């Protein structure tokens, strides 16, 4: 009886120690492109439920996040909305190259306020400037820094209409800001990702840009050098079935 009591006592101690050990894992900080806000806010609690580790997010333009990492920000995982800003932090030795992978894809769309009657066929030389009206502006990310703006400039250049609207941009600091300008009716048209348009009832999609008019929209993920315990596990979790289901439901293209 004494041996059995000792065995039961030992088992209880182990059982109680497991949650304590799990709870002791540090909270992770993930830097992620603004367009991932809705998806990661759903995925984070799923990860915590499965692993016991908490995770919080900082959403902004990939350019801003990359510069914060360069300045020494204490993040654990970085998810960019383009390859260029991930390359930027990689060349500065700020990520663990072995953990870098291409995670998601997206599409580029032209949007208008939900109440707008604008109709445009996106093709070579299409009358984008005319559709803006005499004083209207086109909302998108700053094409010098923000990925969605860079993709937009590539697409409009390919279609031969960039010079018509280059001086009529609302140069937003991230894609969600551009989305908000259009949703509030402050800009008659905007260029965002299809996933952003999908979650905002204040806008409607006028058209989708042909994929061959711009570089593929690719979201890479990587663990930041010196990351806290659990960071590689979270990066891997983003490529797992549970996360991929959430991404697909919100319109992202999951990559192999």
The domain spanning residue 126 has which CATH number? 3.40.190.10
Residues 72 and 114 in one domain: no
Write down the pLDDT at residue 168.
Answer: 98
Predicted local confidence at residue 24, as pLDDT: 63
- Are 121 and 208 within one domain? yes
Give dist(CA 95, CA 72) in Å, integer: 12
Residues 99 and 37 reside in one and the same domain: yes
CA distances from 148 to 82, 107, 159, 163, 210 (A): 9, 10, 16, 18, 15
- What are the structure tokens assigned to 64, written together? 């801003």
Residue showing tokens 């909302």: 139
Contact, 198 vs 204, CB < 8 A?
no
Whether 112 and 199 map to the same domain: the answer is yes
Closest by alpha carbon to 111, among 181, 21, 205?
A: 205
- Residues 156, 122, single domain; the answer is yes
What is the pLDDT averaged over residues 187-202?
98
Rounded to the nearest integer, the mean pLDDT of the chain is 93
Q: Which residues touch 6 (CB under 8 Å, ≥6 apart)?
A: none
Same domain (yes/no): 77, 131:
no
**Has residue 23 got a pLDDT over 60?**
no
3-state secondary structure string, 122-187? CCCCCCHHHHHCCCCCEEEECCCCCHHHHHHHHHHHHCCCHHHHHHHEEEECCHHHHHHHHHCCCC
How is residue 183 written in tokens? 């949703």
**What range does the domain containing 13 cover?**
2-105+218-254
Distances (CA, A) of 110 to 91, 130, 191, 211, 236: 33, 15, 5, 13, 33
Q: What are 54-96's pLDDT values in tens digits?
A: 999 999 999 999 999 999 999 999 999 999 999 999 999 999 9
Query: Are residues 183 and 168 part of one domain?
Result: yes
Residues 81 and 112 in one domain: no
Mean pLDDT lowest among 17-21, 32-36, 130-134? 17-21
Band of residue 235 on the pLDDT scale cut at 50, 70, 90? very high
Which strand ranges, in their side-by-side order, compose the sheet holding 108-113? 169-172, 138-141, 189-193, 108-113, 203-208
**Whether residue 226 sits in one domain with residue 101:** yes
Number of domains in the chain: 2
Does residue 190 sit in the same domain as residue 234? no
**Angle, CA of 152, 157 and 161, to the nearest 5°:** 95
Max CA distance (Å), the chain = 91
Q: What is the pLDDT of residues 153-170, one digit of tens each?
A: 999 999 999 999 999 999
User: Is the separation of the CB atoms in 143 and 152 below 8 Å?
Assistant: yes
What distances in angstroms separate CA 90 from CA 58, 94, 224, one per listed residue?
Answer: 19, 6, 9
Mean pLDDT of 37-65: 98
Question: Is residue 144 located within the same domain as residue 47?
Answer: no
Single pTM value for the model: 0.89
How distant, in Å, are the alpha carbons of 64, 80, 135 from that of 89? Answer: 12, 10, 39
Residues 147 and 129 in one domain: yes
Contact yes or no for 162/153 (Cβ under 8 A): yes
Q: Which of 113, 234, 241 is nearest to 180 (CA)?
A: 113
pLDDT tens figures, 115-134: 999 999 999 999 999 999 99
């Amino acid at each position: 009886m004494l041996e059995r009591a000792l065995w039961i006592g030992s088992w209880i101690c182990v059982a109680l120690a497991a949650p304590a050990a799990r709870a002791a894992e540090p909270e992770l900080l993930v830097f992620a492109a603004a367009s991932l806000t809705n998806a990661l806010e759903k995925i984070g609690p799923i990860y915590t439920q499965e692993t016991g580790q908490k995770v919080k997010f900082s959403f902004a333009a990939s350019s801003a996040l990359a510069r914060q990492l360069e300045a020494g920000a204490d993040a654990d995982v970085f998810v960019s909305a383009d390859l260029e800003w991930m390359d930027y932090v990689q060349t500065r030795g700020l990520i663990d190259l072995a953990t870098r992978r291409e995670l998601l894809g997206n599409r580029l769309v032209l949007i208008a306020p939900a109440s707008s009657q604008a109709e445009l066929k996106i093709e070579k030389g299409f009358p984008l400037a005319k559709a803006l009206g005499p004083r209207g502006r086109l909302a998108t990310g700053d094409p010098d820094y923000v990925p969605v703006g860079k993709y937009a400039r590539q697409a409009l250049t390919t279609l031969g209409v960039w010079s018509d609207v280059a001086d009529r941009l609302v140069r937003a600091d991230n894609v969600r800001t551009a989305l908000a300008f259009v949703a509030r009716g402050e800009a008659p048209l905007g260029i965002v990702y299809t996933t952003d348009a999908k979650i905002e009832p204040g806008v409607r999609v006028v058209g989708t840009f042909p994929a061959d008019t711009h570089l593929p929209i690719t979201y890479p993920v990587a663990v930041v050098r010196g990351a806290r315990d659990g960071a590689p596990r979270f990066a891997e979790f983003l490529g797992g079935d549970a996360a991929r289901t959430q991404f697909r439901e919100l319109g992202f293209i999951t990559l192999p």
